[in-house]
Amino acid sequence: MKTMRELRRERTLVETDGRGVGRVFISHDDMPPEQQVWVRSLEGTGIEPATYAALQESAHLWINADYEHDLWTLIGVEYAAAVGIDHVVLPFRFGNSTYQLAHRPDLWDQIPQFAAMRDLFQKNRDERRKPRDILFANLLAPHILVGSLEAVFWARDSRFTIIDLCATEDDLCRWQSLSAADGGE
């Protein structure tokens, strides 16, 4: 496992204005787009990178558990590509962000999945009311309903992907408590 310092020696990483716990970096290497990365540094936060990565994966699985509305056909959450000693590396995706789409309705005809995703998410959110459901709905809502730069339309898969949930320390603590109460599910 690498440290953030080692990763910064290997890759050209530029810090951005990230939300959530820790600091966010995006690679600016001379590489193809599919090899670019999004890095959440948790250096000095006390948060275990494996915990952050597990939350991302659990959010993805929560979306995939929606068998009634098939929300998973329109959106997913990225899994960690690597977990370091003090950071999480996530795949970086290029495309129209949900922030851009939320503020530019004139683009909706080009990406009809946007309106469909928002409608399905709202139905899903209204019907799933367990504490775990509420936590994931609250983590996903800013990306889907309000719009964020971390959620983009990935044209290759013809669906949206949330690169990073931008979880706070409180979100991670709540998720860990719920996971412990559910027996680690």
Q: Say which residues have a Cβ less than 8 Å from residue 41's Cβ, sequence separation at least 6.
A: 4, 22, 23, 24, 25, 86, 87
pLDDT at 183: 64
State residue 174's pLDDT score.
93
Residue 36 lies in a domain: yes
The answer to whether position 142 is within a domain reads yes
Q: What's the domain count of the chain?
A: 1
**What is the rounded (10 degree) CA torsion for 171, 104, 91, 46?**
-20
Q: Which residues contact 21 (CB under 8 A, 6 or more apart)?
A: 40, 42, 45, 47, 52, 167, 168, 169, 172
String of DSSP letters for 129-147: -SHHHHHHHHHHHIIIIII
Task: State residue 7's pLDDT score.
Answer: 92
Q: Would residue 23 count as lying in a domain?
A: yes
Provide the pLDDT for residue 121: 93
Nearest Cα neighbor of 133 from 141, 94, 51, 89 is 141
- Residue 185 lies inside a defined structural domain of this protein: no
Q: Burial, 134: exposed, middle or buried (Cβ in 10 Å; 0-12, 13-18, 19+)?
A: middle
Mean pLDDT per 10-residue run, the chain (185 residues)?
92 89 89 83 93 95 86 94 95 91 91 93 88 94 94 92 95 91 66
Q: CA triplet 146, 150, 153: central angle to 5 degrees? A: 85
- Residue 32 domain-assigned (yes or no): yes
Which one-letter amino acid corresponds to residue 65?
A
- 46 is a domain residue: yes
Residue 24 is predicted with a pLDDT of: 94
Residues near 79 by beta carbon (within 8 Å), at least 6 away in sequence: 53, 56, 57, 60, 90
Q: Which two tokens stand for residue 76?
A: 């997913």
pTM above threshold 0.85: yes
Domain that holds residue 129: 4-180
